[in-house]
Amino acid sequence: MKPVNLRKWREAQEEEKSWWTKILSQTPKSTLSAFYGNRWTSLLPYLDAQLCQNCPTVVDVGSGPHGLIYYLPLRGQKVAIDPLIDSYRLDLNTTDVFPVKGVGESIPIGKDQTDLCFLINALEHTVNPQQVLEEIWRILQPGGYLICQVYTQSVTDLAFIKLGYVPPLSAYHPHHILANNLISTLERIGFRIEKCEMPFDPVIIDIFNYFKKSGEDQGSLRGESVYNIRLGQRFTHTLIRLIDNLLFLFSKRRFAKNVILIARKQHA
């Protein structure tokens, strides 16, 4: 997981800011709350509810205005950190979360001060993913937990990217992270993987969208389903997904599209 240059990261941040500005101005707050409430509820089977309930200090790195920290019934102090926090401060979903402008590579929290950290669909948005994970390790107290979710790329994706393929949503995600690299990096930094899920993501959804006559995407607010990209890219995307579905059964870590894990900071 190598760093990207700042220019590429700033461009991705501007894309993200523009998208959120549009969504927050055009979508009723109740609709957004319902959408993200359902989205985060779908994560609950993968999480330890008792763990989330019993942490006095919780930090969400890259929270956005509707991150997980705004929806879970957490106790204690809650801190949301995001470089774009000033852009949507007035649209935050709750008043019991303390919003902080900052980046994951330099978290403004002292060493060993956090019990639980969320990193949900944020690592692929950063400048230096490894530095972000090292910072989270620093702020967690010994025995503290990281709950992380990353939309990963597969070996197939990376091979096609080298041939010039541009995955959907690349404008927002400057990194293409392999599940295997994510797990090995966490372990090298000093985390122990307590739980790791790699949900199967069937290609049949993409094949259905490929033949759809309507460009509407009812399942996503981002509005960039496989249908809503140009024909050649859509065909390549569907082909990659088909290959990944076939090979996923043999090597989840190399062909997973989504990783949800709980990692614990080991005592130094």
Q: Check pLDDT > 90 for residue 61.
A: yes
Report how far residue 93's alpha carbon sits from residue 159's, in angstroms, rounded to the nearest whole number.
40
The CATH number of 6-153+172-200+251-265 is 3.40.50.150
Contacts of 127 (CB under 8 A, 6+ apart): 3, 4, 6, 9, 103, 105, 174
Sequence letter at residue 157: D
Which phi and psi angles does 28 have, rounded to 5°?
-55, 145
- The answer to whether the CB of 48 falls within 8 A of the CB of 262 is yes
Report how far residue 116's alpha carbon sits from residue 140's, in angstroms, rounded to the nearest whole number.
7
Q: Check pLDDT > 70 for residue 243.
A: yes
- The answer to whether the CB of 20 falls within 8 A of the CB of 82 is no
Q: Check pLDDT > 90 for residue 218.
A: no
Report how far residue 26's alpha carbon sits from residue 16's, in angstroms, rounded to the nearest whole number.
15
Three-state secondary structure call for residue 224: coil
Half-sphere exposure of 67 (CA within 13 A, CB side): 30
State the angle between helix axes of 179-189 and 129-139 in degrees (0 to 180), rounded to the nearest 10: 40
Helix and strand tally (H, E) in the chain?
Answer: 9, 7
Q: Give domain limits for the chain.
A: 6-153+172-200+251-265
Is the CA virtual torsion 189, 248, 156, 123 positive or negative? negative
Give me the residue label for tokens 């199967």.
200
Segment 194-215, tens digit of pLDDT: 988 887 665 544 444 444 443 4
Q: Check pLDDT > 60 for residue 155.
A: yes
Two tokens, residue 116: 């639980």
Q: What is the chain's length? A: 268
**Hey, what's the torsion of the CAs at 121, 122, 123, 127, to 10 degrees?**
150
Supply the pLDDT for residue 9. 86
Q: Which is more confident, 182 or 213? A: 182
pTM of the entire predicted model: 0.82
Backbone torsion region of residue 248, taken as left when φ is above 0, otherwise alpha when ψ lies between -120 and 50, otherwise beta = alpha
